[in-house]
């Protein structure tokens, strides 16, 4: 696993409003926003959690594996 401290960001499509806020704060360019979907590249993600804190809909959460 490349994630820092084993952090894995989990995405909940049912909560997401596709506002793009998480994409803007990700320093690793790990988030790709499609028309109605969002993808997190686990290889790029450093586990900084900025996206988790910025999401106004709590669509992103962090777990460890
Ligand atoms: S945890 Fe940080 S690096 Fe990973 S997707 Fe979120 S903002 Fe990007
Ligand atoms: S910040 Fe939250 S609601 Fe906005 S696109 Fe990202 S996951 Fe979806």
Residue 2 has pLDDT above 80, yes or no: no
Spacing, Cα 9 to ligand 2 middle (Å)? 12
Q: Which domains does the chain have, with CATH numbers?
A: 4-64 (3.30.70.20)
Span 12-62, pLDDT tens digits: 999 999 999 999 999 999 999 999 999 999 999 999 999 999 999 999 999
What was the pLDDT predicted at 5?
66
Any ligand 2 atom below 6 A from CB of 20: yes
How far, in Å, from the CA of 6 to the mean position of ligand 2?
A: 22
Burial 32-59 (b: 16+ CB within 10 A, else e): ebeeeebebeeeebebbebbbeebeeeb
Q: What is the DSSP string of 3-15?
A: SGGGEEEEE-TTT
What is the value of pTM for the model shown? 0.91
Q: How far is the CA of 34 from the centre of ligand 1 (A)?
A: 17
Residue 65: predicted pLDDT:
78
């Amino acid at each position: 696993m490349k994630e820092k401290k084993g952090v894995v960001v989990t995405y909940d499509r049912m909560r997401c409003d596709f506002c793009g806020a998480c994409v803007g704060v990700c320093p690793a360019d790990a988030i790709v926003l499609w028309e109605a979907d969002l993808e997190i590249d686990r290889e790029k993600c450093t586990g900084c959690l900025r996206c988790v804190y910025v999401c106004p809909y709590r669509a992103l959460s962090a777990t460890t594996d």
